[in-house]
């Protein structure tokens, strides 16, 4: 027998049964509103992604709807692209099939472990804040042609970032 803190369990490889713990407490899932920032990397990612889309929609003067009970953020960019029309759930939900919803994928998530950053950027690469209309147009041009976003072709400056949002609101 092995004792893990106060719970006895059989450590035989084919018989690892733990003693059931009874509690009336609602246990934290790691993705709820009470979960502190920094506690769960996927929870932080979902919150950050929602914050980013909310900020982009606000900068573009678009509609944003939030439902705190569902941890849902909706943005309506009246855009032909998926970039301006986003539904983000910031935590797992119960089955919403009865309401006409179904799973279509997972949020984009990339984790890069801590490590050194190369001393020098590759030749020709510059990373910095978009500071004026010319840089905003270059940012949009890369988005439209390199991502690609065929719904925004033929490309014209201001197709994604309207003039007020252009300066200082994006990184390229």
User: Does the predicted TM-score (pTM) go above 0.75?
Assistant: no
| b/e burial code for range 66-97 (CB count within 10 A of at least 16 → b) | eeeeebbbbbebebebebbbbebbbbeeeeee
Would residue 44 count as lying in a domain?
A: yes
- Of 50, 70, 94, the residue that ends a domain is 94
55 assigned to some structural domain: yes
| Interval 101-137: pLDDT, tens | 776 655 566 666 677 777 788 888 877 888 888 888 8
Does some domain include residue 146? yes
**Given this model, what pLDDT does residue 116 score?**
74
Other C-beta atoms lying within 10 Å of the C-beta of residue 34 = 8
Residue 3's pLDDT band (cuts 50, 70, 90): very low
pLDDT at 65: 92
- Nearest Cα neighbor of 59 from 143, 170, 149 is 170
In sequence order, which ranges of the chain are alpha helices (DSSP H)? 41-59, 133-146, 163-166
Extract the tokens encoding 90. Answer: 């910031």
Buried b / exposed e across 134-164, counting CB within 10 Å, b at 16+? Answer: ebbbebbbebbeeeebeebeeeebebbbeee
Is the Cβ–Cβ distance between 129 and 166 less than 8 Å?
Answer: no
Domain range holding 54?
32-94
87 shares a domain with 140: no
Express each pLDDT in 20-65 by its tens digit: 777 777 767 777 778 888 888 888 888 888 888 888 888 878 889 9
């Amino acid at each position: 027998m092995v004792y893990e803190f106060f719970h006895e369990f059989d450590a035989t490889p084919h018989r690892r049964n733990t003693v059931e713990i009874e509690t009336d407490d609602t246990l934290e899932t790691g993705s709820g509103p009470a979960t502190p920032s920094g506690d769960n990397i996927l929870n932080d990612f979902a919150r950050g992604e929602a914050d980013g889309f909310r900020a982009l929609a606000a900068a573009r003067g678009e509609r944003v709807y939030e439902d705190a009970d569902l941890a849902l953020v909706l943005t309506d960019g009246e855009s032909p692209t998926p970039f301006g029309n986003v539904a983000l759930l910031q935590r797992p939900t119960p089955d919403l099939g009865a309401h006409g919803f179904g799973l279509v994928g997972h949020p984009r998530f990339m984790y890069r472990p801590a490590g050194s950053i190369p001393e020098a950027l590759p030749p020709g690469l510059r990373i910095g804040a978009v500071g004026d209309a010319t840089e905003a147009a270059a940012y949009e041009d890369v988005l439209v042609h390199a991502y690609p976003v065929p719904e925004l072709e033929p490309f014209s400056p201001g197709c994604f970032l309207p003039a007020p949002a252009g300066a200082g609101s994006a990184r390229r």
